[in-house]
Structure 1
Amino acid sequence: MTNAFTPLWETDHPYYCTEGNYYRNGNHLTYDSWTDFQKEWGALDPDLNLVFRWDWQRANPADYAYELEQGEKLPPDTLQVFWVLQRKAILRSTECAITEAEEPAVRAWLTERAAHMRLLWEPLLPGPTA
């Protein structure tokens, strides 16, 4: 059986979202790994911590030509997650280093958040998709 999904790192969302919060410093948190991110954010209530966007970031080797010539490695892939903490109307973002091997876990977690987001927009959306 083949995987019918586009790899998350190949997803290119239209436009972009700036990290953090324009009105308040300190609202972009970084984590060294998917595991560290999951410990803090993985099981939080999706109503109180609403994910509205995600981006899998991968370094473009062309942007690191000099560094690569010097024997340096590309920065790791990262997952950026953008949140609204609804009870307090706080906009924030998180970022963690990830690997392709972690994609199934990342996809499962994001799919749960997408299902929750769909509930909020259900009256305006067509029926469920396969």
Structure 2
Amino acid sequence: MTNPSPDAISPSLDLIESLAREAIATLPEPWREPATHVVLRVEDFPSEEMLDAMDLNDPFELTGLYEGIPLTEKSVADQVMHPDMVWLFRRPILDEWAERGNVSIQELVSHVVIHELAHHFGWSDDDIAGVDRWWE
């Protein structure tokens, strides 16, 4: 008998991305359409540069990251060097999912995506709570 591959057991990068896109598609207006303009990337782990920038040593401490200038701080004078981007990190997400044991992978991915988009939109905690019940 062969052992199943880890990808047969754990949600894949593609599945995490699909769940994230579903979460974006269910955002209320007026946030849904602008959120589709943020680039979404899914990797197994954050890069060393990302960990250094966040002053973290353990890659499992970072489930997601927003890179860009929040809309509340953007100016027409800003030179865009790269598009606004939300990163999701599969292995830390899966680790948190397993530790929690009381949420679906879809709920956790949605929570991480909304948290990172909150940085993009410049949302307050009250704004986030209106979209993500985990913040209530």
Q: What is the TM-score when the length of structure 2 is the normalising length? A: 0.27
Q: Mark the structure with the bigger radius of gyration.
A: 1
Report which of the two has the higher share of strand.
1
Q: What is the TM-score when the length of structure 1 is the normalising length? A: 0.28
Report which of the two has the higher share of helix.
2
